Structure 1
Amino acid sequence: MVLEETINRLAKDEEKVKYKQFLSCSYVEDNKKIKWCPAPDCTRAVEFLGDENYDVSCMCKFSFCWNCTEETHRPVSCETVSKWILKNSAESENVNWIIANSKPCPKCKRPIEKNHGCMHMTCRPPCKFQFCWLCLGDWSEHGSRTTGGNYACNRYEADKKKGIYDEAEAQRERAKNSLVRYTHYFERWASNQKSRQKAQGDLQKFESE
C-alpha cells in the first residue's frame, strides 16, 4: 500500500492534490453515512446524522433527501417523486397533447391540429392531402350538400350513431383529462419551485451583506 508520507515526499504538487482528491472520494464512497451534495457546482460531502427524517442540508444551503438525493420533498414519498420526475422528463404528456388536440393525416399519418375554421383540412407539404376533419375522408368526396358542406359531415354523424368512433373519442377524452390533471399539478409544483428558489436567493443575499 502506498503510504501518504511517500506521496508527500516524492510526488509533485499537482499529483499530491489528485491523491488527496482520490482519498476523499474513496472515503465518501465507502462510507454509507456520507454522500456528495447533489447541488450543481458543489463539491462538499454531507454526513447523515438522522434516523427517520431524511431531510439534510449542505453548507452550500442546498437541502435534499438523503434517501433519493432529490430536493427535500416531505411528506411525499421518494417513489412518488421519482414518478413525478419521470413524468416531467418523459414524452408521455406530449403524446397526450397530440392525442387530445390533433388527428393523423389519413395519408401520411402526420398529426394535424385544428384550431379554427371549417372541416376542410389540408396537410402540410409535401403531402398536401385534403380531407374532412370529422370523418377523415378524402375531401374530393366532400364539400357538397350531400355530405354536409364545409362545416358539417353527414357521414361522420351517421357513423357516430353506429358507435364507430366511440373508442377514438374515448381515447381523446382520456388524453384531455390526463393533460388537464397534469397541468393543474405541474403549475402548482412550478410555482412552489419558483418561490423556494427566490427564498434561497434572498437568504444568500442577506447573508452576504
Structure 2
Amino acid sequence: MGQMLIQGILDTLYMTVGATAIAYLFGLPIGVSLVVTAPDGISPHHTYNKVMGFIVNIVRSVPFLILMIALMPYVRIIIGTGIGTSATVAVLVASAVPFVARLVESELREVDKGVIEAAQSMGASNMQIVIKVMLLEARPSLLIGTAVSTITILGYSAMAGVVGGGGLGDIAIKYGLYRYDSKTMWITVVILILLVQLLQSIGNYISKKLDNRI
C-alpha cells in the first residue's frame, strides 16, 4: 500500500506540474494577447479579441470530466492511449489553457494604467511594454495565480481517476469506492490536502520574495 501511494503521489505531481507548465506555455500568451488587443489595450484589435475570447469562454464552459471523455478518441490517436497519466496530462492542458488565459488577463488588467502610459510616452514598443512593464508589474499576482492554477489542475487530476487517469484519484476510486476501503480513501484525501497546502505556501512565499512593492 505504501509503495502504491508513493507512486500515486509521483503520478499526481507529474500530471499536475507537467500540465501546469504546458498550460502556461500556451495560456500566458493568449492572456497577454487578450489584454493587448482589448478596446483599451495598447494595440486594440476588435475581431481577434472577440474571436479568441469566445473560444476561451466555450472551452472553459465544458466540465472537465465531459471534456476528458470527449477528447479521449483524439488523445488516443495522438499519443496511442486514452487512459493513464500521459493521456490525462493532454486533457488537463486542454482544460487548463483557457482558465490560465483568463487568469493572466485578469492579473494584467490590475497593472496601473499610468505606468503603461509613462512607458509609451518614453517611446517604448508594445513588446517592451508587455515584457518590461506589464508582466514585471504583475509578477506577484501572476505567481499567486500560478499557485491557484496548479491547485485547480491538481483537483482535475484527481477527478481523472474516474476514467482511469492514474494518480491519487485513481487509487481513491479503485480502492476507496469500488472496494469500499474507507481507510485508503481518507489517506488519499489527506495527502491531497497536504499537497494543496504545500503548493499554496510555495506560491505565496515566492510571490512575497519577488514583490518589489513590499
TM-score with structure 2 length normalisation? 0.29
Q: Which has the higher contact order (CA 8 A, sep 6+)?
A: 2
Larger gyration radius, structure 1 or structure 2: 1
From the two aligned structures, give the one with the greater helix fraction. 2
From the two aligned structures, give the one with the greater strand fraction. 1
